[in-house]
Amino acid sequence: DIQMTQSPSFLSASVGERVTLSCRASQNINKYLDWYQQKLGEAPKLLIYNTNNLHTGIPSRFSGSGSGTDYTLTISSLQPEDVATYFCLQRNSWDTFGAGTKLELK
């Protein structure tokens, strides 16, 4: 089974700051990597699929990159509504989620 490791587990940042979240797979996942945002009490919401494709309606301040085993979600200018937990998901071999990065405002 492919394991997904997210870092950091917790991040505190200021409004307007550039934020980078990481996800590492235990083996090559061929860019089959998605990012989800989950706000408290809500279902996960798709932000980015296949590493760098922005889902419909998602603000352009969100972007993704990566290849092989290492992937990144970047928020170019953090907004108050971005407070949430962010999960990565690999779909190269069945589905495996990361444990999440909890993002809060400083």
Which residue ranges make up the site for another protein (CB under 8 A)?
A: 32, 34, 42-46, 49-50, 55, 87, 89, 91, 94-97, 99-100
34/82 with CB nearer another protein: 34
Q: How far is the CB of 9 from another protein (least distance, A)?
A: 12
Termini Cα distance of the chain: 36
Rounded CA separation 51/95 (Å)? 15
62/87 with CB nearer another protein: 87
Q: Which residues, in sequence order, are bridge partners of residue 73?
A: 21, 64
Q: How far is the CB of 91 from another protein (least distance, A)?
A: 5
Q: How far is the CB of 77 from another protein (least distance, A)?
A: 25
82/86 with CB nearer another protein: 86
Element (H, E) at 65: strand 62-67
Rounded CA separation 28/80 (Å)? 34
